[in-house]
Chain A
Amino acid sequence: MTDPYDVIVVGAGIVGAACARACAAQGLTTLVVDAAGVGGGATAAGMGHIVVMDDSPAQLALTRRSQQLWGALAAELPSKVEFEPRGTLWVAADEEEMQEVRRKQVVYSAAGVRTEVLDAHSLAAAEPQLRPGLAGALLVPSDAVLYPPAAAAYLIHQAMDLGARMLPSQRVVAAGRGQVRMEDGSSLSASRIVNACGAGAISLLPELPIRKRRGHLLITDRYPGFVHHQLVELGYLKSAHSVAGASVAFNVQPRQTGQVLIGSSREFGEEDAAINHTLLAAMLRRAQSYLPRIGALKTIRVWTGFRAATPDKLPLIGPWPDDPSLLLATGHEGLGITTSLATGELVAAEIAGVKPEIPAQPYLPARFLDGSRAASQQGLFEEAAHD
């Protein structure tokens, strides 16, 4: 068999799309395969919040780089991507959380991210629907909102303009050792294969340290001006609102249409896309505790999606040590929309053999293969459960 492709990207979610675009931009012959089409999985289920996060220095580096790349791309994004520089308001309920606001500002500032501390009065003026008595917030003006499936489609179109090809309607049953095998028995070969299947990556590589983490989202009818920024509580740090091992947090996003997207929930151990109504109710009560009038909004739809969670909350980006042909681009948990662009950049730099813009080391899958392989991945997650 010939070796027609430099790269086959398995998965046309936003991460696979960004990888394909970056590889094609490096001049690599690139093919993308996904039976579900473009952006049909977790990409379509996610919020579309471009957000800088600082749970760890590595997470800050990846989200910051990605947010800069999105910012650079913003002017050329088609209107259907609905990119809006809304900014994030990290809402502080009390003085303890205001200390976290000030800590966060120092960290963001050191990373070159401009922020603004809002006191109680400025927060109430910025978001009049928030309940009275909140302490303030950290505004991150460079954070943004977009519509992820349309963004993924745009990245795929860009990849194709750069010479990449897309093979839809083919389910991949095996990927590795330079071969991608389809359900119909056919196979394709490539020098490098990128597994960008999100939580589905484990079906091709069961030993991956990834667990599905289900999330719920709800979207309302159009109420323009109900909220103006992406609103996220800082209170989840106290982790006070856990429901039978699952958790909810206040995370609300204004859409360009005037619709309000309401999240969020996190559950391990669920494989079913069905709605958990107990958890949904807890999620909405949490939202209502911040936005007392949100109950008056009409719901259009509720759905679930599956994040690809890793034990250390960092994605798996780079070579899989057991197979020299295989790279991973998965494990982004709730940040795949944001970090897709920097992920693509890291993957393409690795394959093309050029120096990446940010150090690749923190995201290398090899970190989970160091030391004893006998240590169970389950054990890794149990440690992570205490965070």
Chain B
Amino acid sequence: MTETRSTDLPSDGNSIVLSVDGVSVRVSPGCTVAAAVLMAGTPTRTSVSGEPRAPLCGMGICFECRVSIDGVPYQRSCQTLCLPGMKVTTTGAQLLP
């Protein structure tokens, strides 16, 4: 997974394009959503007191990597693999789909 390849081209067998807060990110198959969010350079979530948060444990325990995926809130991005066309949003508190 590298950021240098163009995101204008669609997903293919060797790479996946997804969107993080509306920004296209190209990753290799098998890449987690947490990694894609890091590549997009944005925090995963905002705490109750307004602090930006990012993945800490990377193994599904700390819940700091929660994001909304395709409209479903509070998904652990470190436990979710990227799929072509996924829409990831990192807003803090979220409404139901």
> In whole Å, how far is B13's beta carbon from the nearest beta carbon of chain A?
34
Q: In the complex, which residues of chain A have a beta carbon less than 8 angstroms from the beta carbon of B96?
A: 223, 226, 293, 296-297
Interface size of A in residues (CB-CB distance below 8 Å): 12
Mask, B76-97, CB within 8 Å of A = 1, is 0000000000000000111111
Q: Inside 8 A of B93's CB, which chain A residues have their CB? A: 222-224, 257-258
A-B contact count (CB 8 A): 26
Within 8 A of A (CB), among B43-87: 48, 66, 73-74
State the majority secondary structure of interface residues on A.
loop
CB-nearest residue of chain B to A256: B48
Nearest chain A residue, comparing its CB with the CB of B66: A221
* Chain B contacts for A223, CB-based, 8 A: 73, 93-96
- What is the chain B residue whose CB lies nearest that of A224? B93
- What is the size category of the interface that chain B forms with chain A? 10 to 19
The complex places the Cα of A296 from the Cα of B97 at a distance, in Å, of 9
Complex Cα distance, B95 from A296, in Å, reads 11
Whether B95 contacts A221 by the Cβ 8 Å rule is no
Asked if A221 and B73 make an inter-chain contact with CB atoms under 8 angstroms apart, the answer reads: yes
**What residue in chain A is nearest B93 (Cβ atoms)?**
A222
Tell whether A298 is near chain B: CB-to-CB under 8 Å.
Answer: yes
Nearest-Cβ distance from residue B2 to partner chain A, whole angstroms: 33
Residue of B nearest to A298 (CB): B74
Minimal beta-carbon separation of B53 from chain A (angstroms): 13
Measured between alpha carbons, how far is A222 from B91 in the docked complex, in Å? 12
Measured in the bound complex, the distance between the Cα atoms of B4 and A179 in whole Å is 76
Seen from chain B, the residues whose Cβ lies within 8 Å of a Cβ on chain A are: 48, 66, 73-74, 92-97
6 inter-chain pairs at a CB distance below 8 angstroms, sorted by A residue, are A221-B74, A222-B48, A222-B94, A257-B48, A296-B97, A298-B73
* Cβ-closest 6 pairs across A and B: A222-B93, A258-B93, A298-B74, A221-B74, A257-B48, A224-B93
